[in-house]
Protein backbone atom coordinates (compact mmCIF):
# COMPACT_ATOMS: atom_id res chain seq x y z
CA UNK A 1 0.00 0.00 0.00
CA UNK A 2 1.33 3.45 -0.87
CA UNK A 3 0.78 6.72 0.91
CA UNK A 4 -0.74 9.38 -1.35
CA UNK A 5 1.33 12.51 -1.81
CA UNK A 6 -0.11 16.00 -1.26
CA UNK A 7 -0.03 16.51 -5.04
CA UNK A 8 -2.23 13.43 -5.52
CA UNK A 9 -4.72 14.78 -3.00
CA UNK A 10 -4.83 18.16 -4.72
CA UNK A 11 -5.48 16.57 -8.10
CA UNK A 12 -8.48 14.71 -6.68
CA UNK A 13 -10.03 17.79 -5.07
CA UNK A 14 -12.29 20.08 -7.06
CA UNK A 15 -11.03 23.64 -7.32
CA UNK A 16 -13.42 26.01 -5.55
CA UNK A 17 -13.98 29.75 -5.64
CA UNK A 18 -11.84 31.86 -3.29
CA UNK A 19 -14.73 34.19 -2.36
CA UNK A 20 -15.63 33.97 1.31
CA UNK A 21 -18.28 31.31 1.91
CA UNK A 22 -18.52 30.27 -1.75
CA UNK A 23 -18.15 26.56 -2.54
CA UNK A 24 -18.86 26.82 -6.28
CA UNK A 25 -16.48 25.35 -8.82
CA UNK A 26 -13.72 27.71 -9.94
CA UNK A 27 -13.69 28.58 -13.62
CA UNK A 28 -11.33 31.60 -13.52
CA UNK A 29 -7.82 32.09 -12.13
CA UNK A 30 -7.01 35.65 -11.06
CA UNK A 31 -3.25 36.12 -10.94
CA UNK A 32 -2.04 38.94 -8.74
CA UNK A 33 0.78 40.32 -6.65
CA UNK A 34 1.33 43.15 -4.20
CA UNK A 35 4.28 45.10 -5.60
CA UNK A 36 5.22 46.33 -2.12
CA UNK A 37 5.61 42.74 -0.89
CA UNK A 38 6.34 40.55 -3.92
CA UNK A 39 8.94 40.54 -6.69
CA UNK A 40 7.55 41.64 -10.07
CA UNK A 41 7.56 38.06 -11.41
CA UNK A 42 5.89 36.54 -8.32
CA UNK A 43 2.23 35.62 -8.84
CA UNK A 44 -0.39 34.55 -6.34
CA UNK A 45 -3.67 33.07 -7.53
CA UNK A 46 -7.25 33.45 -6.42
CA UNK A 47 -9.82 31.17 -8.00
CA UNK A 48 -13.26 32.47 -8.94
CA UNK A 49 -16.58 31.04 -10.00
CA UNK A 50 -18.51 32.87 -12.73
CA UNK A 51 -20.52 34.80 -10.13
CA UNK A 52 -17.52 36.12 -8.18
CA UNK A 53 -15.06 36.73 -11.02
CA UNK A 54 -16.11 40.40 -11.23
CA UNK A 55 -16.08 41.24 -7.52
CA UNK A 56 -12.76 39.50 -6.82
CA UNK A 57 -11.21 41.05 -9.92
CA UNK A 58 -12.52 44.52 -9.01
CA UNK A 59 -11.10 44.18 -5.47
CA UNK A 60 -7.64 43.30 -6.78
CA UNK A 61 -7.74 45.83 -9.64
CA UNK A 62 -8.74 48.73 -7.36
CA UNK A 63 -5.53 48.11 -5.38
CA UNK A 64 -3.36 47.72 -8.48
CA UNK A 65 -2.71 44.05 -7.71
CA UNK A 66 -4.48 42.26 -10.62
CA UNK A 67 -2.06 41.00 -13.27
CA UNK A 68 -4.04 38.48 -15.35
CA UNK A 69 -7.33 36.59 -15.54
CA UNK A 70 -7.26 33.19 -17.23
CA UNK A 71 -9.67 30.27 -17.51
CA UNK A 72 -8.99 27.37 -15.16
CA UNK A 73 -7.84 24.35 -17.21
CA UNK A 74 -10.73 21.95 -17.72
CA UNK A 75 -13.38 24.58 -17.02
CA UNK A 76 -16.24 25.31 -19.41
CA UNK A 77 -14.86 28.85 -19.91
CA UNK A 78 -12.28 27.36 -22.27
CA UNK A 79 -15.12 26.40 -24.60
CA UNK A 80 -16.36 30.00 -24.98
pLDDT over 80 (residue 80): no
pTM of the model: 0.76
The better pLDDT of the pair 12, 26 is held by 26
* pLDDT at residue 24 is higher than 60: yes
Task: Compute the distance between CA of residue 48 and CA of residue 70 in angstroms, rounded to an integer.
Answer: 10
pLDDT for residue 2 is more than 50: no
Rounded CA-CA distance 29/44 in Å is 10
Q: Residue 10 pLDDT more than 70? A: no
CA quadruple 42, 46, 52, 53: dihedral sign? positive
Give residue-wise pLDDT tens across range 43-66.
Answer: 999 999 999 999 999 999 999 999
Q: What angle do CA 45, 50, 53 make, to 5 degrees?
A: 45
Distances in Å between the Cα of 68 and the Cα atoms of 8, 39, 61, 71, 74 are 27, 16, 10, 10, 18
Amino acid sequence: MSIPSPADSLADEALVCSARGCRSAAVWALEWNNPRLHDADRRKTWLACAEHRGSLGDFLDARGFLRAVTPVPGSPTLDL
